Amino acid sequence: MGSGSSGNTNYKYSLQKSENAFKAAVLIQQWYRRYVARLEMRRRCTWRIFQSIEYACEQDQIKLHNFFSYLMDHFTPSSSKERDFISRMFISGESFKEAELEKYCDYESIEVPDSYTGPRLSFPLLPDHATALLEAFKQKQQLHARYVLNLLHETRKHLKQLPNISHVSTCYSEEVTVCGDLHGQLDDLFLIFYKNGLPSPSKSYVFNGDFVDRGKQSLEILIILFTFLLIYPKEVHLNRGNHEDHMVNLRYGFCVGLGAMSRVSLRNPTEFPFSCSFSYGFTKEVMHKYKVHGKKILKMIQNVFCWLPLATLIDQKVLIIHGGISDTTDLDVLEKIQRNKFVSVLRGKKRKKSNRNVEIQETNEESKAETDPAGNEAAHSLPPSPQPAQAPSTANRLEFSRWVRQTVQEQIEWCRRLVDISESEEEELTYASVVSLTDLDGPCRTHQEDWKQILDILWSDPMPQEGCIVNTVRGGGCYFGPDVTRKILEKYNLQFLIRSHECKQEGYEFCHNRKVLTIFSASNYYEIGSNRGAYVKLGPDLVPHFVQYQANKAAHTLTMTQRISRVEESAFRALREKLFAHTSALISAFKAYDTDNTGEFDLEHVYCVTWEGLCGL
């Protein structure tokens, strides 16, 4: 009897102990899930901040382009000398003639001193030259300007022979490796070659654009890729990205400079209309590394970029493009485009000139217009030039800044009316309507259509919704939905698309029912630990196999919490830079909401709307 009672007691005790242990396990599990959910929320918010600032920076490039375009469209030279000067600056520089380019970039006239200890190139190139370059760049050595120009010259000759769409077959190699954006991060390229092997007759590579900008070793990446391209022309393929663009490289460095200026004095921050948070531009890099021959190298690279192929087809089943597609993308048209005519995609758009021609005619024949009734009608049809209000004292910086902004806005509005560009055109959401608004009559129409084709494949992004709309976030290209992808695949009998252009946390991401694959090869893109890099391998079965990596060793030692905290801190720092760059405009906007001068306003609504409107976030 006693033993039975003791057994029951032990059983109840063990049952209670198990129950407590189970409750504890559930509590720990709930706590862990909440902790992971909070980390994931922080990670997504941080990612959103970085992505918003990155895209706002690209918008700044296009805004800057539009700003200078307006200036040039409405600048009236006072003499023939001024007109010739402007022509040389903004027109002749785009299309260097063959003989002029070779004379300007004459590498044979550059002597290599005996004291030079870096790698030396002789043509035709051999695999040993590529190996020597890799070792030299690992040792932080620099290739002499003569060899750089010689390499660019040979690369240009080779690219001119290639079609707009490269064709790759898995029959001649075991597999094809596709790499995404590298953005000047040489360590990622070294790691790819270490893990996957160097290009060879049995190891084909497709590099999908955006080799330059943001990282500090863009030129080294170009030199390595161009070297392997010349050694293995059938195994190495390069696509053009939106950063292989002369004006993007120039404006990117310009935006970086403004971002640095805005950080000079935080006590008395100065407002700038454009600002970027990323640290390095390709133009700035080349001029820093080659102070004597940097301009020649940039001019040659500018010409090489415009000869890069626009897309690659693997086994006629997988289309590789840098950005994306639109509902007007036509591969048959892409194959026929004279791609070298588009030194910069940002310069491709042409404005209507009817009203501008009227204005010039009225200006040149002012005396005739005064006596001719028809001339009077034409003159009166033009909007009068706005007369700026009297400038306030510069002692009141806020009032003076507001006056400058208002005056510039009035001038821009007047320019819009002169060229018949209304605000409503910028607010249209459908992509087809924007294309129709920018179409031109006559022989320029084909040029405009070609420009739209290239712009779309270099700048576009996928979206989960159906349809095709203007990419207002980046400021160029479009957002394309699953239906657009499906139509393209069916029309050209393709299996799926591979693109880059967007940073992904894991280095790759599928969308549109696994019919669109984004591959991004620059690890730690925003900050150490922010993302992995990846490349994809395709065999004869065209089944993608992914390899992920982290090029920075420090990223492997960080815990998840440390990694997210580090990236979060970097995101807030970038956000503060954006805030300081727009301080005056933000204060003015906040005061407009605070009509009673209380110093308070609705934080949730006003703050967010103001930020989005002024900073483009």
Active site residues: 243
Pairing mode, strands 165-168 and 516-519: unpaired
**Tokens of residue 556, six digits:** 């492997």
Instruction: Please give the angle made by the CA atoms of 423, 406 and 395, to the nearest 5 degrees.
Output: 160
Q: Biggest alpha carbon distance in the chain?
A: 130
Alpha-carbon distance values, 8 to 1, 4, 5, 19, 254 (Å): 11, 6, 5, 16, 82
DSSP string across 545-591: EEEEE-S-THHHH--HHHHHHHHHHHHHHHHHHHHHHTHHHHHHHHH
Place of tokens 């990622």: 188
Phi then psi for 504, rounded to 5 degrees? -125, 145
Buried-state track 288-299, b at ≥16 Cβ within 10 A, e below 16:
ebbeebbebbbb
CA distance 65 to 71: 10
Cα 111 → chain centroid: 37
Structural element, H or E, at residue 378: helix 373-381
Residues 6+ apart with CB under 8 A from 563: 528, 529, 530, 555
Q: What is the distance between the alpha carbons of residues 522 and 221, in angstroms, rounded to a whole number?
A: 12
Cα separation, 401 vs 406, in Å, equals 9
Could you write out the three-class secondary structure of 468-505? EEECCCCCCCEEECHHHHHHHHHHHCCCEEEECCCCCC
**Tokens linked to 77:** 């030279």
DSSP assignment of 244-301 equals S-HHHHHHHHHHHHHHHHTTS-SSS----S--------HHHHHHHH-TTTHHHHHHHH
Question: Which residues have C-beta within 8 Å of that of residue 81, sequence separation ≥ 6?
Answer: none
